[in-house]
Chains A and B, each alone.
Chain A
Amino acid sequence: MISDDPSFGGLRFMQLGMVALAIGMLFGVIGGFQFLFPEFLQELLFTKTRPMHVSMVIASIFLIAIGGIYFYLPRQCKLALFSVRAVSWHYWIFLTTGLAIIACYLSGKFGGREYFEFPPILSLPIFLSWIMFGVNYFKTVRQDKKPWPVYYWMWGTGIVFFFITYTESHLWLIPYFRDNMVREIMVQWKSYGALTGSWNMLVYGTALYIATRISGCDKYARSKLAFSLYFLGLFNLMFGWAHHTYFVPSETWIRTFAYFVSMTELYIFGKIIWDWRSSLEDWQKNRYCNAYRFLIAADIWVFVNLGLALIISVPAFNLFTHGTHITVAHAMGSTIGINMMVLLASVFYVIREELPNEVHANCSRQLRFGFWTANISLAVFFSALILAGIGKGVYDGASFQEMMTGIRPFLLAFTLSGVSMMVGFWIILWHGFRLMGKIIAPVRLSAAQAA
């Protein structure tokens, strides 16, 4: 299925991303119930549901972000894709690798590494398709002879850094790293910290792109401020991983250095507040009401998450929060609250551009309902995790089971809010998927006619 319409491929990625997210959330909810009731779906081991959830959700972040890039460049930035065929290849490699990974999980073949719990051999096609993506991207944006807007830099940096950090996260295959436990853990968590940093770059680039387009003013993506944000983000991408590693016994200077690096996030925090407030005045909120709503939600979650991130990056607090559900709150709050909201803004921005009347005509109420359900549930979800984390952090007895019983009410609230959050997102995703299909349909038709 290789279409000649260059924007077709991007939308396919976005659709696949929405499917992955919907299924990934389902596995998250199943895992939540298994956490509470070990008998629940016992045949489907937790060792399977957890990686299904994590991998599908991470895949959906990448898919929707990549899809946006493949769509925006040819459709809106007036840059012909260097290779349209490579987009199709990328899509099919992604899909087949994804299915192979799912097959491994369900049949119990694990690589057993945190986050990438699949056999490392399956990383090869991921590397390969990523190189194709990178070459395609840079060859495409190179056509733009003007100084690049900030989002081109962010996307490009995200692509390059993902490659580097993904390589790093496979260094354990080399005995030099594997044989030294401390070194191994340092490398592993350093790479994971930077890995999330690299997809954040893709997501933030997308956010700035949409913000620029909605405001209709290019100045914003070329301003000094936007670039200082980029460089601070880049700095954090290179050094901000450090707060993952306070506990691994390593040289003290690394730990101290890590601490100061984390503090630079404060600075970024200030910048983001500024951005947020100024962008409020600029946007044509009504025209892009859905995309706008998701972006504002993302911004609010930026505040909440950065507040939490700053607190837990102070080593004295980290001592209590590390390895507790507060870390999970940090991870979930930023992936769902920030990344997902931005990416959904991207989805509904595309829909508004391509089908100007569709949303208002039939589903804006449902979308609003889904939006509020998802966000309110996320707030409960987030608070429940923090409370559970505090419970675990302050517990000083020796019984793991006693501690778990103590925090059980919070875990229950966490799981139930996970269910309602999933329902909210499902409503949104269903309409997003359906409407995107409507955009693709005529594109496919005209491609067939042309042939």
Chain B
Amino acid sequence: MYTFQIYTSGTDVKHIMPISDTARHGQQLYQDNNCVACHQFYGLGGYMGPDLTNVISNRGEPYARAFITAGSARMPNFGLSTAEIDALLTFLAFVDQTGTYPLENYSVSWIGSVAQVDDPQ
């Protein structure tokens, strides 16, 4: 019960845009290809590649598309179809609007706790 409260309180409000079917498909692809081995959301995940939480707003869709399509010296090319890449990008865009990481505007209080200044709540 206690844990259930943790899950639901606070998280509801932030659910800004409902997940679309395409984004859900993208999420599945993200898991099937084990992107988490190298990438992070909110700093959680593997360490070989960069955090992808805000990659769409920081770098732009074409940039992200280029990586996913072709890979790089360090990132494998997964040979995904255009539709799959679109789905992945929709998913990344969905993740993007859930929040900001790393925090950009924050204040540190005297006890060492951190508050997000632009917290929309």
- Interface of A with B (CB < 8 Å)? 35, 38, 45-47, 50-51, 110-114, 117, 168, 177-183, 185-190, 238, 244, 246-252, 254-256, 259, 314-319, 322-323, 325, 327-328, 400
The DSSP consensus for interface residues of chain B is loop
A319 touches B38 (CB 8 A): no
Docked complex Cα distance between A325 and B47 (Å): 8
List B residues 55-110 near A (Cβ within 8 Å): 73-74, 76, 94-95, 98-103, 106, 108
Pick from A50, A110, A238, A323: contact of B44, CB under 8 Å: A323
Name 10 A/B residue pairs within 8 A (Cβ), A-sorted.
A113-B31, A179-B18, A181-B98, A182-B11, A248-B42, A249-B14, A249-B98, A250-B10, A315-B113, A319-B102
A182 touches B98 (CB 8 A): yes
Docked complex Cα distance between A259 and B43 (Å): 18
Q: A110-B33, A112-B36, A249-B116 are in contact. List 4 more A-B contacts (CB 8 A).
A: A47-B76, A180-B19, A249-B119, A252-B115
Residue of B nearest to A164 (CB): B3
Pick from A50, A181, A183, A259: contact of B7, CB under 8 Å: A183
**Which residues of B sit under 8 angstroms from A255, Cβ to Cβ?**
113-114
**Total number of B residues with any Cβ neighbor in A under 8 Å:** 57
Please encode chain B, from 4 to 15, with 1 for each CB lying within 8 Å of some chain A CB and 0 for all others.
Answer: 001111111011
Q: A51-B34, A112-B32 given as contacts; is B112 within 8 A of A190 (CB)?
A: no
- Interface of B with A (CB < 8 Å)? 2-3, 6-12, 14-15, 18-19, 24, 27, 30-38, 40-51, 73-74, 76, 94-95, 98-103, 106, 108, 111-116, 119, 121
Docked complex Cα distance between A112 and B43 (Å): 16
Q: A247-B101, A254-B10 given as contacts; is B43 within 8 A of A322 (CB)?
A: yes
What distance in Å separates the Cβ of B98 from its nearest Cβ neighbour in chain A? 5
Docked complex Cα distance between A187 and B99 (Å): 16
A254 touches B9 (CB 8 A): yes
B36 touches A114 (CB 8 A): yes
A114 touches B45 (CB 8 A): yes
Pick from B15, B94, B103: contact of A319, CB under 8 Å: B103
Docked complex Cα distance between A110 and B36 (Å): 10
A400 touches B50 (CB 8 A): yes
